[in-house]
Structure 1
Amino acid sequence: MVRRALLTLLLTVLVLGGGLAAPASAHPQSTSAVLLDVGDDRVEGEVQLPVDRLAVAVDRDLTAGSVLDADRDFLADYTADHIGATGADGRPWTVDLGEGTVQVIDGVDHLVYSITLTPPDGRVTDVELRYDVIVESLVTHRAVATVRHDFDRGILTADDAETLGVFDFSTPTLTVPADDGSWWRGFAATAHLGTEHVAEGADHLLFLATLLLPAPLVAVGGRWRAGPSARRSLVRVVHVVTAFAVGHSLTLALAAAGVVDAPSRPVETLIALSIAVSAVHALRPLVARGEVLIAAGFGLVHGLAFASLVADLGLDRGSLVTTLLGFNLGIEFTQVLVVLAMMPALVLMARTPVYPAFRVGVAAVALVFSVSWTLERATLTSVDPFEGAQTWLVGHPLWVAAGVTALAVAAYLASARTGREGGGPDAVEPDTEPAATAHRG
C-alpha cells in the first residue's frame, strides 16, 4: 500500500510538473477513441489507437507500416487482452477484434480495429466495458468512449452521438446503457430526422413549392387560368402530395433494401433539374396535370436522395420497416405543414390580378436557383452564388409564409375594393375558350 501510494504521488508530481513546464505552444497529446454501435443482438464499433502513444505503451518503435506488418500479431493480441465486457447478469461477453487498418485522424496516424461484443444469450443488456489499451502503461493517456448509434435510444446520426465517459488510469471500466431504449424512441427519432431533412433541404422545399404554384389554376389553351373553386385546388394539392409520396417512398424502400443503388452526385444533379422542370411548368403548362406527373416522376429521384441518408443509420442494427415508416412519416408531416402554410394564401391570391406576377416571379427565382445547383452539382462551377439567400429562406419559414399570406390578403382586399376579383391574365372568362381547345389540369 505504501509503495503504491508513493508511486501514485510520484506520477502525480511528474504529470503536474510536466504540465507546468510545457510551453504554451505545445500540442495536446493524442487520445484514443472507442466508438460503439448498439444493436439488437450485439454491440459493434471500433477502437482508434494513436500509433505514437501506442509505441510508448508497448515500448516498441512503431510506424504506420510496422503496425500492419512486423508488429501486427503482437498488437492484435495486446489490444484484445485489454478489452473485456460483462453483461448485467455477470456473464462475460465474447470480444472479437477485426483486422487492423491505419487511418490519419486529426493529423496523427491511428491503428484502427473493428470490435464486436456478443452476449452469450444473444440479448443485449447494459454492459460493463473494460478498456485499458495504452492507459494501463501510459497514465497520462485517455480514451474517449462514445455511442454513435443506438436505434432504440434514438441515437442515429453523428449529431446524436452520446459520450459515455473517458477511460484513463483510474477509470478502466464504463457502463454502456444498452437496454434502456424502446421501439418508440427509435421511431420518433427517425420521424424527426425525416422532418429535419426536408425542413432544412432548400432543394426539396423549392421543388414542392413550385409544384404548388399551379395548383389553384387550370391549363386552358396552353396557358394558366384561375381554377373554378378552392375545392378543386385542394383536390389537386392532394394529388400532387400523394404522387410525390408514392414516388419517393418506392425508391427509398428499394434503395434501403439494396435493390437500387445510385451514386449521389447524379442524383443530386437530377434533383436540381427537377426544380427547373417544375418551375418551367409553373410558368407555362407543359402538359395537363403536369405537376402530378412531375411530382411522381421526380419523386423517384428524391427518394434516392432520402435513401442516402437512411443508409447511414445502421439499418441492419434496427428495424428496417420501423426506420422507413418513421422517416417517411417525418417527410409527409413536413410536406403537410408546407401545404397548410402556403396553399390558403395561394388560393386566395389566385383570385386576384397579382397572382400571375407572383407565380412568374417565384418560378423565375426557382429556375435560377435550380440552374445554379445543377451547375455546381455537375462540378461545372465550384460555388453557388445564391447560397446565402437560400439559407436565409430555409432558416426563416415563418417569415416567408407570413409574407406570402400578407401579400395575398392585401391583393384580395385591393381587388375587392376595385371590383376586379378574378381579373388579370390568369382569369377565366366564361365561354371564351372553345371546349375543343381547352385542356384542364
Structure 2
Amino acid sequence: MRIAGLIAYAIIAFLVLPASPAAAHPMSTTAILLDTGPDRVTGVVELPIDRLEVALDEPLTATTVLQPAKLEDLRRYVLAHTSAGSWAVALTGGRVRKVDSVDHLVFDLTLTPPNGRTSNFPLTYDAILHTIVSHQVFVAARSGGQGDYTTIGILDWREHTVAVPVAAAAASTGTGFVAALRLGVRHISEGSDHLLFLIMLLLPAPLLARRRRWVPGGDLRRQSVRVLHVVSAFAVGHSITLALAALGYLAVPARPVEAAIALSVLVSAVHAIRPLVPGGEAWIAAGFGLMHGFAFAALISDLGLTHGSLVTNLLGFNLGIELTQLIVVALVMPSLLILARTRAYPWIRLGSAGTGLVLAAAWFAERTTLISTNPLNGVADQLVEHPFVLAALLAGAAGTASAVPRVRAGRTAGAVGRLVLPRLRQGR
C-alpha cells in the first residue's frame, strides 16, 4: 500500500513541477477571419492584447499598442509568425476593438497567390501560440465578403497549419461541423479549468457521504450510475446556456463567467474533501455547467454566423465536448474505482482535491483582479501537456494497490482470535 501512496504523491508532485511561463486563462482567443476572392484573399487578424502581453513578456495596453513604434513592432511580430506557402503575405493597419469585453489588436491581412489566381492553400500561424500552450486561434472563411463565416480550423500549440479551401469558395457545412467538433474536443482537452472541474466531481463518485465524511460504499453498478449522472448533468447544464448564449438570447461578460468557472472548480474541490451536498454531485455539475456553457458560447459567438450555420457548429461543438468527457471518464474512472477500495484512496483524494483547490483559488484571484499575475499558470500547463502521463500514473497506482491484499489472512485470523477467545474463556 505504501507503493501506491508513493505513486499517488508522484502524481501530485508532477502537477506542481515548474513549467515554462504560460497562461491557463482561456478567456481571450485569436481569430483570423478570411474573405476569399478570385485573385486574392483578404481578412483580419484579431489578437487579444492581454495574451500578447504574456507572450511577449512586456506591458501592453489598448493605448500603448497604438503608438507608432510599438504598432510597427507588433506588426512585424505577427507577420513573422504568419505564412501561406508560396503566397505573399501582407499585414497592414492596426486598431483596437473589444471582442466580448476584451481589447483586441486588429490587423488587416492580404494573401496573394503567385500566379494571380486563388486556389486551396495552407495557412500557418503561431503568434502567441509559440509561448502560451493553452491559447487557441480560430480560422474562419467566407466567399466574396458576403454570407456566413464558417469555421475551417482551430490552431493550438500542437497544430499551427490549417488548409483553407478557396477552390470550393468556402468551407462546406460538413467541414464546419467537423471543425466545430474538433474545437469541442480541443477546448475540453486543453482547458485545464474545465478538466479539473470534471475530475474534482469524479473523485468522490465511488464513495458515499456519511456524517459529513466520504466513506467507501456502493457496488460497481451504483458507482457507475453516479458517474453517469455527473457527466449527464454537466452536459445538460452547459448545453442549455451554450445554445441560449450562442443564439443571442443571453449575454454575460466574459470575465465574470471565467471567475465563476474558477469558483466552480474551487467548490467541487471542497466537495471532494468534505461533502457539501451529500449525493449532490449531479446538482453541482448541472448548476456550474450552466456557467461553463457561457464560456463555450464565447468561443463561437463572435464569428458572425447565421442561425443555420450556428446550429451546425453548436451540434458539432457539443458533440466534441461530450466525446472528450467520455474519454476522460474512461481514462480516469476505472483507476478511481479500484483505488477507492484501498487504504491509499483517502490520501489520493485529499491530495488531488487539495491541488485542485489551490489552482482554483489562484485562478479565481487572477480573474477577479485580486492578483495581476497567476504564479501557478505553469502548473495548469502541465495538465494540458501531459494528460496521458497523469492517467498512466493513476493507473499504475491502481494496479499496485490492487495487487496488495487489503488485510492479510494471518492478521485476520489473529484479530479474530484476540476478539473471540477471551469471550469464550469468560463463558466457561
Q: Normalising to structure 1: TM-score of the pair?
A: 0.59
CA contact under 8 A between 2:33 and 2:149: conserved in structure 1? Answer: no
Partner of 1:255: 245
Quote how far apart the aligned CAs of 1:300 are: 0.3
Deviation digits for residues 324-375 of structure 1, max 9, x if unmatched? 0000000001100000000000000000111011111111000000000000
Partner of 2:398: 408
Partner of 1:197: 187
| Unaligned segments of structure 1, at least 5 residues | 1-33, 49-63, 65-100, 114-126, 130-146, 165-174, 421-441
CA contact under 8 A between 1:349 and 1:411: conserved in structure 2? Answer: yes
Quote how far apart the aligned CAs of 1:314 are: 3.2
- Give SS of 1:225's match: strand
Partner of 1:116: none
Partner of 2:141: 149
The match for 1:36 among 34, 37, 44 is: 34
CA contact under 8 A between 2:203 and 2:336: conserved in structure 1? Answer: yes
CA contact under 8 A between 2:152 and 2:175: conserved in structure 1? Answer: no
Residue type of the partner of 2:368?
Answer: A
Partner of 2:366: 376
Whole-angstrom CA distance in 2 between matches of 1:179 and 1:277: 48
Residue type of the partner of 1:327?
Answer: F
- Give SS of 1:224's match: strand
Partner of 1:348: 338
CA contact under 8 A between 1:155 and 1:161: conserved in structure 2? Answer: no
Counterparts in 2 of 1:202 and 1:225: CA distance versus 1, 3 Å: same
Quote how far apart the aligned CAs of 1:289 are: 1.9
- Give SS of 2:301's match: helix
Partner of 1:276: 266
CA contact under 8 A between 1:194 and 1:331: conserved in structure 2? Answer: yes
Counterparts in 2 of 1:187 and 1:163: CA distance versus 1, 3 Å: closer
Partner of 1:67: none
- Give SS of 1:312's match: coil
Would you say 1:228 and 2:218 are equivalent positions? yes
Partner of 1:331: 321
Q: Normalising to structure 2: TM-score of the pair?
A: 0.61
CA contact under 8 A between 1:152 and 1:185: conserved in structure 2? Answer: no
CA contact under 8 A between 1:156 and 1:313: conserved in structure 2? Answer: no
Residue type of the partner of 2:302?
Answer: D
Counterparts in 2 of 1:248 and 1:110: CA distance versus 1, 3 Å: closer
Whole-angstrom CA distance in 2 between matches of 1:303 and 1:184: 23
CA contact under 8 A between 1:243 and 1:293: conserved in structure 2? Answer: yes
CA contact under 8 A between 1:38 and 1:317: conserved in structure 2? Answer: no
Work out which of the two has the higher radius of gyration on C-alpha atoms and give 1 or 2: 1
CA contact under 8 A between 2:141 and 2:170: conserved in structure 1? Answer: no
Quote how far apart the aligned CAs of 1:302 are: 0.3
CA contact under 8 A between 1:202 and 1:390: conserved in structure 2? Answer: yes
Partner of 1:186: 176
Partner of 1:240: 230
Counterparts in 2 of 1:47 and 1:363: CA distance versus 1, 3 Å: closer
Quote how far apart the aligned CAs of 1:412 are: 1.9
- Provide the identity percentage: 50
Quote how far apart the aligned CAs of 1:321 are: 1.5
**RMSD over aligned Cα atoms:** 3.6
Partner of 2:302: 312
Whole-angstrom CA distance in 1 between matches of 2:401 and 2:180: 41
Which structure ranks higher in relative contact order (CA pairs < 8 Å, sequence separation ≥ 6)?
A: 2
CA contact under 8 A between 1:280 and 1:363: conserved in structure 2? Answer: yes
Would you say 1:285 and 2:275 are equivalent positions? yes
Counterparts in 2 of 1:153 and 1:178: CA distance versus 1, 3 Å: farther
CA contact under 8 A between 2:185 and 2:320: conserved in structure 1? Answer: yes
Would you say 1:364 and 2:354 are equivalent positions? yes
- Give SS of 2:152's match: coil
Quote how far apart the aligned CAs of 1:312 are: 3.0
- Give SS of 1:214's match: coil
**Superposed, which structure 2 residues align to 1:1-80 within 5 Å?**
36-37=34-35
- Give SS of 2:405's match: helix
Once superposed, which parts of structure 1, at least 4 consecutive aligned residues long, lie more than 4 Å away? 43-48, 109-113, 150-154, 156-164
Deviation digits for residues 68-105 of structure 1, max 9, x if unmatched? xxxxxxxxxxxxxxxxxxxxxxxxxxxxxxxxx97459
- Give SS of 1:236's match: helix
Whole-angstrom CA distance in 1 between matches of 2:107 and 2:392: 54
Whole-angstrom CA distance in 2 between matches of 1:374 and 1:291: 21
